[in-house]
Amino acid sequence: MLRLLKINDIDHLIKEMGSLPIDRGGIPVMAPKGEFFIFKTSKISSPAANIMKQQMLSIGGECAVSKFVTTCSVKESPVILMGTQRHFLKLIESLKNQYFGLGILREELMEFFEDRKEKQIFKVGDRIFDLSRKTLVMGILNVTPDSFSDGGKYTDVNKSVKAALKMEQEGADIIDIGGESTRPGADPIDVEIEQSRVMPVIDGIKMHSKILLSIDTVKSKIAEEALNHGVSLVNDISGLNFDKEMANIVSKYRASVVLMHIRGKPKNMQENPKYENLIDEILNSLSSSFERALNAGIEKDKILIDPGIGFGKEWKDNYVILRYLKELKSLGVPIVVGPSRKSFIGNLLDLPIQERIEGSLAAVCCAIMNGANIVRVHDVKETVRAVKVADAIMGRV
């Protein structure tokens, strides 16, 4: 009987090889040939694309280029590189003395293969998580009157604190506190209003618990005050784009940050959100936010990225994002996904917000299997249980 092996990683392949009466010395030689990688570059010059084609073919790999590249009738074009790790290590060596900007591509390839050797470490507050071993659950606590799912439910400080403590008891690793609604069509609010909503809740939780807290805000003033009151993580839906001081504040307090993708602002983000290439555009935007964070002095192991489910996307786009989520691993940092109760689930199942838990759990599990490291949810107890099963399937238990 022929069995198709579904190899998740090189360790899995080594284990399968080790189950045979095989010469152990051959395993390190053969195993790297069993992992296949496909990379797509951003636009590079036609001369650079031609060099990449020649180099990959010469070492036994493959490179797809535009038919106009060979005649240089276009100035630039993306290329798709295909090969094993062995091919790419040879490519890295061959690009040492190349021009046309290929040195940058070489560095990116080197960084990718170096990152694969390391654990997926995330630092937040006084905690260090190995996200290759456990998916974290972030509980959503909206202290707003108008959020799409739980608006008005936690406007009372005591109720908010009790809700946070309940989520902690149910297994949440982080509580994400938001004082400004970011639902489609939402108007921005003043700093003072947002401050009056979130700060009493933060202080109330800190009085009773040591759970890690995140502040969901696009305002550097709110972030700074929250960080001064013991919050460890800033969740910025704008990816550091709305407030030019946000990156500096996060860096100043040596805090952690979530960089999310959004097109437009909550007020107008759902007005005809069209993309030529959805994943390319999300990745390019997140890459810019990532560079801004690093340039501000934010440490790489304190950075998370979020593709922004429901933020400036058509509802079907969100399924595409979850399907190809692993491609965002190109940036080498952990991924946060927040599918909880959102309209892409409601539109598919024709269900109101409060009846979307099964769809939310399905999205969470698929996200984990496609590369998510942290899931941001309303229904903590049910999600924690689902995450444990998904982690076990992925071999993280």
Report residue 177: phi and psi, to 5°. Answer: -105, 125
- Catalytic (active site) residue 323: no
Return the bridge partners of 122, or none: 129
How far is residue 258's CA from residue 246's CA, in Å, rounded to a whole number?
Answer: 12
Q: Is 33 a catalytic residue?
A: no
Distance of alpha carbon 127 from alpha carbon 193, whole angstroms: 31
Query: The tokens of 268 are what?
Result: 């107008």
Whole-angstrom Cα Rg for the chain: 23
The residue annotated as part of the active site, out of 90, 302, 342, 356, is 342
For residues 356 and 378, is the Cβ–Cβ distance under 8 A? no
Q: Where are the beta strands (DSSP E) in the chain?
A: 36-40, 44-45, 62-64, 76-77, 80-84, 121-124, 127-130, 136-142, 174-178, 212-216, 233-236, 256-260, 303-306, 336-337, 374-377
Catalytic residue among 376, 381, 388, 396: 376
| CB atoms inside a 10 Å sphere around CB 256 | 25
CA 167, CA 105: separation in Å to the nearest integer? 44
Enumerate residues 6+ apart whose C-beta is below 8 A from 14.
Answer: 27, 31
134 — alpha (psi -120 to 50), left (phi > 0) or beta? beta
Q: Return the axis-axis angle of helices 85-94 and 102-115, rounded to nearest 10°.
A: 140
- Conformational region of residue 310, where left means phi above 0, alpha means psi within -120 to 50, and beta covers everything else: left
Alpha-carbon distance values, 9 to 31, 118, 335, 367, 395 (Å): 10, 14, 18, 18, 11
Q: Which two tokens stand for residue 285?
A: 């935007």
Active-site residue list? 342, 376
